[in-house]
Structure 1
Amino acid sequence: MVGVYSGAVIAGGLSRRFGEDKALYPYRGKPLIQWVLDSLQEAGERFIVANRPYPGFGVPVYPDLLPGADSLSGLHSALLHARYPWVAVAATDLPFLRPEYWAFLYEHALASPHPVVVAYNPEGHLEPLMAFYHQDCLPQVERQIREGDFLLRRVMEVLGATYIPAEEVVVRFGAQVFLNANRKEELP
């Protein structure tokens, strides 16, 4: 069943610690970005937000419209380009995300009084680049970019969020779902 939400992969990072464009790094037979796109297969639409071309993935690629604000620029572009009010936003370096993870978060989004649904990882940190954002976040995102406040968590602090405990995610999908590869040697 296709979900009535958009799926956006944020691939705008410089991959300094990784040593090359991690989106295109081959992992277990396919580029890292393909793993993330595949996890979003149930979305009503999928696209990539990046300031460079990513041909060959069969989805549109949109640039940052307000560049220079790190991941917040990517979120801004994702919210503006999305056809659906809820947007699943994922970093490009999360090869263990699965469609079931997004379905789980989307159920919470549909019941949420808040415009963000985000999980904590087992270390107690929020995972804002494997979360759902409603397009209602757009004015706050634009305000933060104008004011030079590029923290994704500030969107949640100001607008409110539904926070999913790490235990709820781990029991369903395993701790590996949170693995984001900042260095090649972090990939199992």
Structure 2
Amino acid sequence: MPFDAVLLAGGRARRFGADKPAAPLGGRTLLEWAAAAVSGASRLIVVGPRRDVLPGAVVVREDPPGAGPVPALRAGLAEVRSPWLVLLAADLPFLRPGHVARLLDAAGERPGAVLLDDGHREQWLAGCWRAAALRDALSGYTGASLRGLLGPLGPALVALPAGTRPAWYDCDTPEDLAAAEHLL
């Protein structure tokens, strides 16, 4: 199914202490790992500062920069042309195209699908959505929470086997990045 990808790569990364999407892991940046997971996207949209690692990506900024995931989603969604989009954080080094395909398949007739972690918690920055459903939801939404925006849409919940490199693993701290390096 055709889809565009929106990678959120403009957060403040307070716990990380540096430009998290540009952090190297196994010869790639975290942003490059996330982009590889959506290699089948018709259009790659990166919300955040311009980085010279993804030629051909559409780069936009949320207003104001660093305002959080809901304004970032608004900025990215404005560039989406496909009926579906995959929404990802830029710090998911173990998410693969097969996982993205599972999300898209699971959505079916629903407005979207979201990945569950090993504790069965929704990972709102690892999902796929009907662009029209997101536009409708955002039109009247004044909150700042992705859960508050996306949860009421009733997405399909996708649990994947944990394995040694769980798809939902994100690198929020330098320690998380170091642990990911050992899992590669």
Q: TM-score range by the shorter chain?
A: 0.7 to 0.9
Post-superposition Cα deviations, 1:6-49, rounded to whole Å, max 9, x if no partner, equal: 01110011111111001111111111100000111011121211
Post-superposition Cα deviations, 1:84-142, rounded to whole Å, max 9, x if no partner, equal: 01100110110001010111111122x22x21211221112110101012112213223
Higher helix proportion, which one?
1
Query: For 1:76, what is the secondary structure of its paired residue?
Result: helix
Structure 1, gaps ≥5 residues long: none
Query: For 1:14, what is the secondary structure of its paired residue?
Result: coil
Higher strand proportion, which one?
2
**What does residue range 22-61 of structure 1 map to in structure 2 within 5 Å?**
22-50=20-48, 52-58=49-55, 59-61=57-59
Counterpart CA distance in 2 for 1:134 and 1:13 is 24
State the TM-score, normalizing by the size of structure 1.
Answer: 0.85
**What does residue range 91-102 of structure 1 map to in structure 2 within 5 Å?**
91-102=89-100
Q: Report runs of 4+ in structure 1 exceeding 6 Å deviation.
A: none
The equivalent of 1:7 in structure 2 is: 5
Per-residue deviation, 1:69: 5.0
State the TM-score, normalizing by the size of structure 2.
Answer: 0.87
**Count of residue pairs the alignment pairs up:** 176
Q: Percent identity?
A: 26
User: Is residue 7–residue 46 contact of structure 1 (8 Å, CA) maintained in 2?
Assistant: yes
Per-residue deviation, 1:159: 2.6
Task: Choose which of 153, 166, 170 in structure 2 pairs with 1:180.
Answer: 170
Does residue 142 in structure 1 map to residue 175 in structure 2?
no
Over aligned residue pairs, what C-alpha RMSD do you find? 1.9
Structure 2, gaps ≥5 residues long: 180-184
Residues 138 and 67 of structure 1, relative CA distance in 2, 3 Å threshold = farther
Does residue 130 in structure 1 map to residue 121 in structure 2?
no
User: Is residue 88–residue 125 contact of structure 2 (8 Å, CA) maintained in 1?
Assistant: yes
